Amino acid sequence: MRKVFACALFLLLATWMTTARSDLVISKVDRRIDLTSHIVRVLSTLKVENAGRVVVSEILLAIPNMQAKNLANLKAFYNEGKGKGSAINLPVAEVHPEGMPRELSFYSISLHEGLEKGKSLTVNVLSIFTHSLQPFPEEISQSDVQLVVYQDSAYYVSPYEVKSQSLNVLLPGGRVESYTKHPSGKLVDSEIKYGPYEKLPPFSYSPIVLHFENNNPFVVAQELVREIEVSHWGSIQITEHYNLAHKGATNKGGFSRLDYQSRSYMGGRSSLRQLIARLPPRAHSIYYRDDIGNISTSHLWGDSRKTQLEIEPRFPIFGGWRTSFTIGYSLPLQDFLFVSEGNRFLNITFGCPMDEVVIDDLIVKVVLPEGSKEVSVSVPFHTKQWHETKYSHLDIIGRPVVALEKNNVVPEHNTYFQVHYKFNNLSLLWEPLMLISGFLLLFVACIAYMHADLSISKSSASYIAKLQWDEVQATVQQVQNVIRRCLSAHEKLETSLQDLSRTGDVHSCKATRKIADGLLKELSKELKPLMGFLQSSPQAAQIWPKVEELVAKEKEMQEKLMQKHVAVVDCFEKKYSGREIENRVAPYQQKLSALKQEVDDLLDYIDEI
Amino acid sequence: MGAKAGSSPPVVPPPASSATSFFPSINGLKLKTKQQELLIRVSILALVYVLAFAIRLFSVLRYESMIHEFDPYFNYRTTLFLTEKGFYEFWNWFDFESWYPLGRIIGGTLYPGLMVTAALIYWTLRFLRFAVHIREVCVLTAPFFASNTTIVAYFFGKEIWDSGAGLVAAALIAICPGYISRSVAGSYDNEGVAIFALLLTFYLFVKAVNTGSLAWALASAFGYFYMVSAWGGYVFIINLVPLYVLVLLVTGRYSMRLYIAYNCMYVLGMLLAMQIRFVGFQHVQSGEHMAAMGVFFLLQVFYFLDWVKFTLNDPKLFYSFLRIALTCAISVGSLALGVGMATGYISPWTGRFYSLLDPTYAKDHIPIIASVSEHQPTAWSSFMFDFHILLFLFPAGLYFCFKRLSDATIFIVMYGLTSMYFAGVMVRLILVAAPAVCLISSIAVSATLKNLTMLIRAKNNATPMGSSKGTASLKASAKASSFDQPLPYQRNVAIALLLGAFYLLSRYAIHCTWVTSEAYSSPSIVLAARGAHGGRVIFDDYREAYFWLRKNTPADAKIMSWWDYGYQITAMGNRTVIVDNNTWNNTHIATVGRAMSSYEDEAYDIMKSLDVDYVLVVFGGVTGYSSDDINKFLWMVRIGGGVFSVIKEPEYLVNGEYRVDKGAAPKMLNCLMYKLCYYRFGEVTTEYGKPPGYDRARGVEIGNKDVKLEYLEEAFTTSNWIIRIYKVKPPKNRW
């Protein structure tokens, strides 16, 4: 193994390299390597002592390059006071000090207050590595267990002298194929202990190789695009596009559904059957789909503190298999959007809501409402940033988008970040107004079209005929109106007769008759030019006889009504009895109702034309 | 108003008089009868428009917004390509992913109307700033066009009968199951827009014949162009219209209007149709289009004779001329046809055309057409299922049409009768008959209802008000109220009949809704069943398998499956297939059929020669899904045997019986399809109380439980075993 050889080289290097940084001495190191999932978490508790004369303000950490390239997160913190005080984070930065071995990467922890001579400090360093467990064998069949290899050093690699140290490696349980027993490794339950070792010079290195069973699915999102769209109408829509792969031992020899279903312990223990996304409380409108449609295998639970979405991929994911899907959900706006000093800021989590998923390439896009200005982002770690524009429903200038990209993301990165921006509430009305005006324009266009004369030739026969027909129709309408007014005058006369029978007021009745008479005369005068026009117009030829008949009947009706009116009034003046009056009026009455019927029919008929 | 004036003046109570004084003011607000009618008509149409759209959304509500069935997946894939790459790329598209290793020239072998329509809608919406996904557009294209069809049906009904019939026609066609079956949301197929185009063309043509207007004829030519661009069923138009013209000529209804309408429509329509690459010069070269051309020349002869008759003005001379002219015309025409046929310039009728005219043709000559379930002759039950009461209203409507014959009603009668015949020949052509049946039935409904309401209304106001019978009641009312009493209980009977009609129509509506929700809204990609506890169980195996192919096979993997699944595999699995639903190469399909029905080692050679990487079979033995590959297998044998004589159908049958249990034919038990379907199935207990290896789709215990595969290995099986995918192993090193 080349790696081991290289490590041995370190040891040699270390022996003659007793370099300057010996001011600090690490009096005690406890390392705990957690290998229970596919993410390697190393927690080192360092007790650092200043043995030199000057105040030291930084501590160097050394990580072999082989591991450093998989380093996802490096966090240093110390506990305030004794016991369970609150943890205080220390800034960590990558440095390239002179005269150090090139096979190591160095990180420096800056202390808030310098470490004075003779003082000591306990610092916890949590380093998280991804892709550090190598499946071995690389190909397994469906029923095999997944074995992985982990390599590290039994000694804590440090540029400082380490007085006392120990190492605990936590394994997920199950079979341990082999582990390096030298120096002094022993397996207790599912934990391997190394050490304690005393007094080791700087850069001491002793390679260890662990080969053990780890049936966790190595879920790696090769790409995850999270789109967070803020709508000031009251919700935040989050869409997450996953591109997942199982990076464990590759499946060989096909997949047997029979084994998978009936012998669940045998068939595919390392396969990914389901994922659980822990969404914020009050998440709603949740969906789970992929390129070809909805995926129906998901379950949702929710209470006031969280919403839990359990999703199953379309098929179980074995080693080397891939899948992709999209989940989306909406969140209430007031939980995540706040206002401070006229600025708005969105406070939302960065990473993916699922457990134990390593994301190779995470892109978070925050889509702000159209018209947002002065956008700035504050993220607790380094990301690549750029701006985009997105066009969604009814967008004219597009929505400003802030995109953040980060590689090698682990669940520890799932912290809050903030996007600050300015937004005028009036801009909200822009889109509804646009819709309203759009419809308004449509209707106006319709009205304009209905009233516009779009015929090409203004002199063609059919066009002229159409114009004439319109005119005829208008005239007929007028005639009808006049007739209707006549009829209402008749009505008035009838009413006056009824009044007469009640009150016996002959004079008022006569007066009514006079008025009605005058009105009817006027109307018939009005009718004359209209009739003249209709008679002369060729277009009215087929309608003319009906109109003529109508007018004639109406005239007859007028006459009869007048006669009836005169007769009734006469009778009243002569004080005839009711019966007598009825007898006298009866012939007129019959005639009138017949005429009335005919006039109505004619009106209907003309209406239908 | 009339009633009040009619009563004797002295005894009218005072409140009535005050009411009459209000009357003018109310009158001013009231709409005129005509406007009222217009308002009612427009609102009914608007409601029908919405209804037609809404009823087709069952599938979206029940399942999701997805593309259905088989062909729509191809249409969706091409539309996606069109919207992404633009029109010219689409036109020039050579598809490497299907018909491996031949490929397919997509641009030249499809009707682009549907895709272009969807893309235009998509681009319009995008332009209007609606950020829709193309899938949503595709899913909703068919319902949208169904809604448009109702509007066309209204105008068509108005043209052939009256606006009442138009309204009824719109309402009937909006929910007619025969039409819904091909136009639910997600059924993104050519027929979705083609029925609209078909009806539009017919309507515009009838309008052109009725008016003799060039403008309408031109419009119908464009309607025809759209139809040609959308669906191969345009052949129906190009044969029905000349037939109709011929009938008009024979019945002595030749007119200048007809001459203008047909000539303009035919000439322009033909020229426009030639712009579609898939159709090309068929209008002048194919036997199926010759009727139209013949009638075109016949019309010219007719016109010429008319002119000669007019100029000669001598009947005797004209008749001798007529004799000569007719002989010449007929001989020249038949000679041209004969020469054309003989030289092969005019191609003979295709098999599909033959199978339309003769239902038994396909069964004997083209198994690939006969193997499709929608090409089977229609059963009575499916007529009833798809038309319900329209089936009875149709003859009644025909009666009304014959009673009032006009150019327009002759057209609809011919359309109805021919399409009904074709609907009887092939199940899928019920779709073409649906508009005609709806229109003719609407005439029956409308005419009956109108007559009944007239009877009721005439009785109602015989005394006071003239009914719409017009002059007849005028004379009658002169003789006071004691007028006609022709039949006792006439009014009651009329009311009863009216109620009966409403009952029938409401049954129709209920039936349509039920059919749509139960039968026609299943995407057939996702299967649903009732679980043991009444809950709905979803079988999403198809997509599971396709997505697995998409994600976990090499990008250039070639998948062999029966051709039914070709479009779906290319669209959803994004992998190359050997054959697909565009059954243009019978030999290629027969090769796949041969591979499926051979022994494994023989099949392996065939698969190696086709570079097959994976084999996909559909198997329903676990779930009881009956339209699986074992049930389709005889067609594979038949189609394979039709080309390769080594495959003999009797070898797979036992005494003419098709079985998979112990008594099955030995060849059957060891052919590739059997092995792939039943690999390790013998270890599965599918149903409680049944032996392992019990096939639920066929209800038997399988005959060969110990299936060993030598050249293939199981690569993937979906959760309900509906789709099984096998990997073809690489050749052994020794070779």
Q: Which of B717, B724, B726, B727 to mutate to test the interface with A (most CBs of A within 10 A)?
A: B717
State residue A537's pLDDT score.
79
Judge whether residue A120 has pLDDT over 90.
Answer: no
State residue A16's pLDDT score.
45
How far is the alpha carbon of B479 from chain A, nearest alpha carbon, in Å? 9
Could you read off the pLDDT of A331-349 as tens digits, one per residue? 999 999 999 888 899 999 9
State residue A1's pLDDT score.
43
Q: How many CA atoms lie within 13 A of B138 on its CB side?
A: 27
Distance between CA atoms of B140 and B56, rounded to whole angstroms?
9
Please, which residues have CB within 8 angstroms of residue A64's CB and are 6 or more apart in sequence?
A7, A10, A103, A104, A105, A153, A157, A205
CATH class, domain A462-608, is: mainly alpha
Could you read off the pLDDT of A583-593 as tens digits, one per residue? 877 888 888 88
With tokens 């002569």, the residue in question is A574
> Residue B734's CB: how many other CB atoms inside 10 A?
4
Distance between CA atoms of B302 and B676, rounded to whole angstroms?
66
Reference B635, options B646, B647, B625; nearest CA is B647
State residue A442's pLDDT score.
95
Strand positions, DSSP E, A91-206: 92-95, 104-115, 120-129, 134-135, 139-140, 147-153, 161-170, 176-179, 185-188, 191-200
Judge whether residue B4 has pLDDT over 50.
Answer: no
Residue range A184-193: mean pLDDT, rounded: 85
- Please give the CATH number for the structural domain made up of A24-213: 2.60.40
Q: Which of B12, B64, B80, B129 to mutate to test the interface with A (most CBs of A within 10 A)?
A: B129
Judge whether residue B167 has pLDDT over 50.
Answer: yes
How far is the alpha carbon of B721 from chain A, nearest alpha carbon, in Å? 8
**Which of A78-87, B60-69, B532-541 is modeled with the greatest confidence?**
B60-69
Distance between CA atoms of A427 and B331, rounded to whole angstroms?
78
Judge whether residue B191 has pLDDT over 70.
Answer: yes
Contact B234, B228 (CB under 8 A): yes
Residue range A469-481: mean pLDDT, rounded: 84
Contact A156, A165 (CB under 8 A): yes
Could you read off the pLDDT of B622-674 as tens digits, one per residue? 998 988 999 999 999 999 998 999 999 999 999 888 988 888 999 999 999 99
Q: DSSP letter for B533, please.
A: T
State residue A601's pLDDT score.
81
Could you read off the pLDDT of A134-165 as tens digits, one per residue? 998 899 988 888 999 999 998 999 888 899 99
Which has the higher per-residue pLDDT, A581 or B285?
Answer: B285
Residue range B469-492: mean pLDDT, rounded: 51
Q: Which residues of A touch B24 (CB under 8 A)?
A: 488
Distance between CA atoms of B733 and B735, rounded to whole angstroms?
5
Residue range B324-334: mean pLDDT, rounded: 89
Q: Which residues of A touch B717 (CB under 8 A)?
A: 255-258
Residue range B212-225: mean pLDDT, rounded: 95
State residue B735's pLDDT score.
53
> Residue B357's CB: how many other CB atoms inside 10 A?
11
Distance between CA atoms of B14 and B638, rounded to whole angstroms?
91
Whether B551 and A502 lie within 8 Å, measured CB to CB: no
Could you read off the pLDDT of B76-90 as tens digits, one per residue? 999 999 999 999 999
State residue B31's pLDDT score.
59
Reference A581, options A572, A590, A589; nearest CA is A572
State residue B614's pLDDT score.
95
Judge whether residue A479 has pLDDT over 80.
Answer: yes
Judge whether residue A542 has pLDDT over 90.
Answer: no
DSSP code per residue over A344-381? EEEEEE-S-SBTT-EEEEEEEEEEPPTT-EEEEEE-SS
A24-213 and A462-608 share one CATH topology? no
CB-count exposure of residue B331 (10 Å: 0-12, 13-18, 19+): exposed
Split at pLDDT 50, 70, 90, the class of A418 is very high
Contact A369, A231 (CB under 8 A): yes
How far is the alpha carbon of A260 from chain B, nearest alpha carbon, in Å? 10
Distance between CA atoms of B529 and B623, rounded to whole angstroms?
10
**Which of A518-522, B371-375, B393-397 is modeled with the greatest confidence?**
B393-397
Whether A296 and B2 lie within 8 Å, measured CB to CB: no
Which has the higher per-residue pLDDT, B7 or B533?
Answer: B533
Could you read off the pLDDT of A203-242 as tens digits, one per residue? 888 899 999 999 889 999 999 999 999 999 889 999 999 9
State residue B475's pLDDT score.
41
As a 3-state breakdown, chain A gives helix, strand, coil percent values, each rounded to 5, of 30, 40, 30
State residue A5's pLDDT score.
46
Distance between CA atoms of B211 and B206, rounded to whole angstroms?
9
**Percentage of residues of chain B with pLDDT beyond 70:** 91
Judge whether residue A17 has pLDDT over 60.
Answer: no
Could you read off the pLDDT of A347-403 as tens digits, one per residue? 999 988 998 899 999 999 999 998 898 999 999 888 999 999 999 888 888 899 999
Q: What is the ipTM, given to two decimal places?
A: 0.83
Distance between CA atoms of A203 and A16, rounded to whole angstroms?
10
B129, B470, B721: residue with CB nearest A395: B129
Residue range B695-707: mean pLDDT, rounded: 90
Could you read off the pLDDT of A279-305 as tens digits, one per residue? 999 999 999 999 888 898 889 988 888
Split at pLDDT 50, 70, 90, the class of B7 is very low
A294, A297, A391: residue with CB nearest B64: A294
Domain ranges of chain A: 24-213, 219-423, 462-608
A256, A258, A491: residue with CB nearest B20: A491
**Percentage of residues of chain A with pLDDT beyond 90:** 35
State residue B483's pLDDT score.
44
The topology under which CATH files domain A219-423 is Immunoglobulin-like (2.60.40)
State residue A90's pLDDT score.
87
| CA dist B59 → A300, B186, B518, B537 (Å) | 24, 8, 10, 16
| CA dist A450 → A447, A458, B327 (Å) | 5, 17, 55
State residue B480's pLDDT score.
39
Could you read off the pLDDT of B502-554 as tens digits, one per residue? 999 999 999 999 999 988 988 888 888 887 787 888 899 999 999 999 999 99
Split at pLDDT 50, 70, 90, the class of A264 is low
| CA dist B373 → A314, B305, B367 (Å) | 30, 50, 12
Split at pLDDT 50, 70, 90, the class of B51 is very high
Distance between CA atoms of A349 and A337, rounded to whole angstroms?
12
Q: Which residues of B touch A253 (CB under 8 A)?
A: 713
**Which of A113-127, A257-271, B124-138, B370-384 is modeled with the greatest confidence?**
B124-138
Closest residue in chain B to residue A594, using alpha carbons only: B478
State residue B2's pLDDT score.
37
State residue A446's pLDDT score.
92
Whether A395 and B131 lie within 8 Å, measured CB to CB: yes
| CA dist A603 → A474, A597, B244, B246, B461 (Å) | 15, 10, 42, 45, 16
Which helix (H) or strand (E) covers residue B712, if one does? strand B712-717
Residue range B358-384: mean pLDDT, rounded: 83
State residue B5's pLDDT score.
37
How far is the alpha carbon of A185 from chain B, nearest alpha carbon, in Å? 41
With tokens 């069949």, the residue in question is A141
What's the pTM?
0.85
Reference A496, options B4, B2, B10, B23; nearest CA is B10
Whether A594 and B477 lie within 8 Å, measured CB to CB: yes
State residue B554's pLDDT score.
94
Split at pLDDT 50, 70, 90, the class of A426 is confident
Judge whether residue B271 has pLDDT over 60.
Answer: yes
CB-count exposure of residue B176 (10 Å: 0-12, 13-18, 19+): buried
Question: Distance from first CA to last CA of chain A, Å, rounded?
Answer: 103
Which two structure tokens, joined as six digits, stand for B611? 């570079």
For chain A, the average pLDDT equals 86
**Residues forming beta bridges with residue A384, ordered by sequence position:** A405
Split at pLDDT 50, 70, 90, the class of A478 is confident
How far is Cα of residue B254 from the mean position of the Cα atoms in its chain?
32
For chain B, the average pLDDT equals 87
Could you read off the pLDDT of B134-160 as tens digits, one per residue? 999 999 999 999 999 999 999 999 999
State residue A84's pLDDT score.
60
Whether B714 and A256 lie within 8 Å, measured CB to CB: yes
Window from A39-48, A88-97, A540-549 with minimum mean pLDDT: A540-549
Whether A494 and B5 lie within 8 Å, measured CB to CB: yes
